[in-house]
Amino acid sequence: MNNQKEDFEEEDSNEEGNLRVRKDWQNFKKIILNRNYLIVFIAISIFIIDLVVLNNFAPYFIDQFESSQINKTEPPILKENKPDLVETASSTVGICNVQGINIHGDLITYIPATDYNESGSLKADETASENVYFTVKNAEKDDKIKAIVLEIDSTGGDPVAGEEIAKVLKSSSKPVVAYIRAVGASAAYWAATGAGRIFASETSAVGSIGVTYSYVDNAESNKQDGYTFNDLATGKFKNIMNRNKSLTAEERDLVMKDLFKTHDLFVKKVAENRKLDINKVKELATGWAYNGVDSLNYGLIDELGGLDEVSAYLKNNILDGSEANICW
């Protein structure tokens, strides 16, 4: 009897234990199926998985990142119209031995930041004399560079820019050769005269030795539209070139005096740089641009030709028979 009683008590105990297990399981399922607890459970699981993956693959990703940083090409720096040392034209093989400089578009002393678009390219075709100056100075320091070539296609611009370029070319310790393609006029021709030798094509426009400051004023148009210009300035010539007023006779005389001074300096520099009689240059200084053939006859250039003729001249007269490898 005692054994049976003990068996019954043991069965009751087991049944109570099973009930507790089932009850705990039911409570656990309720907790797991509860939305908030389920979200927490999933988040913890993802976190644990991330740790495992990161631990196993982090070294690989670090190596790949470091490798990409080492091999990554640096973004280009804004050129600001400064020529790069890239072999072009006649220079396809060998080390650069001639520095090429392009003079294109309007000549100005410097290029303001507003002249660049968002991509860093120039909005207009222009050349800054300060860029030409520093390119020449850098070429003088490079022992590999034996000569400088100036390629010109410009109708001119600021007389100061033309004067600055001519001056640095003339004083260069390296031989300088210029060649005019379509146009080398006004301040651009002034710049060219600093070269030791000038080439030009037969049909190019060369010279245009003269100075202009012409402009359109809006005085009459403003008057018709009912606008009045209020001249508020100290010094009677402060608003002399304001487009909203007309020039007085006194103002016009003052402007023309300055233009003639610049014109005379232009003529003088052409005569000096080209070794021409100044009276002959005065006769040519009508503002007209002469074709290549006439320019050669007048002494404004030395030879007819383009880049091929320039390269041949460099090879035979400056580079001791070596090919001209021009870097622009």
Residue 91, pLDDT score: 40
Residue 73, pLDDT score: 38
CB 128 within 8 Å of CB 161? yes
Q: Do 161 and 302 share a structural domain?
A: yes
Q: Do 107 and 23 share a structural domain?
A: no
Q: Do 202 and 140 share a structural domain?
A: yes
Residue 49, pLDDT score: 59
The answer to whether residue 87 sits within a structural domain is: no
The answer to whether residue 259 sits within a structural domain is: yes
The answer to whether residue 76 sits within a structural domain is: no
Angle between helices 2-33 and 35-71 (to 10 degrees): 50
CB 244 within 8 Å of CB 222? yes
Tell me the longest C-alpha to C-alpha distance in the chain. 151
The answer to whether residue 82 sits within a structural domain is: no
Q: Do 303 and 251 share a structural domain?
A: yes
Q: Do 142 and 256 share a structural domain?
A: yes
CB 97 within 8 Å of CB 117? no
Q: Do 188 and 143 share a structural domain?
A: yes
The answer to whether residue 307 sits within a structural domain is: yes
CA angle 321, 325, 328 (to 5 degrees): 145
Q: Do 118 and 23 share a structural domain?
A: no
Residue 38, pLDDT score: 59
Residue 48 structural domain: 2-71
Look at strands 205-207 and 98-108 and give their pairing: unpaired
Q: Do 135 and 51 share a structural domain?
A: no
Q: Look at residues 295, 298, 270 and name the one whose alpha carbon lies nearest to residue 166.
A: 270
Residue 77, pLDDT score: 37
Q: Do 247 and 103 share a structural domain?
A: yes
Q: Do 251 and 125 share a structural domain?
A: yes
Q: Do 54 and 200 share a structural domain?
A: no
**Burial group, residue 240, by CB count within 10 angstroms (0-12, 13-18, 19+):** middle
* Residue 95 DSSP SS3: coil
Q: Do 290 and 235 share a structural domain?
A: yes
CATH code: domain of residue 215: 3.90.226.10
The answer to whether residue 83 sits within a structural domain is: no
Residue 120, pLDDT score: 87
Structure tokens at 147: 């000569």
Q: Where a domain ends, among 71, 88, 116?
A: 71
The answer to whether residue 88 sits within a structural domain is: no
Length of the chain: 328
Residue 144, pLDDT score: 95
The answer to whether residue 79 sits within a structural domain is: no
Alpha carbon dihedral 103, 105, 107, 111, in 10-degree steps, equals -100
**How many structural domains does the chain have?**
2
The mean pLDDT values, 10 residues at a time, for the chain of 328 residues are 50 59 62 57 62 52 46 39 40 76 97 90 93 97 96 97 98 97 98 98 97 92 92 91 92 95 97 97 97 98 97 96 94
- Distances 108 to 16, 112, 163, 242, 277 between C-alpha atoms, Å: 101, 10, 11, 21, 29
pTM over 0.75: no
**Burial group, residue 271, by CB count within 10 angstroms (0-12, 13-18, 19+):** buried
Neighbours of 210 (CB within 10 A): 18
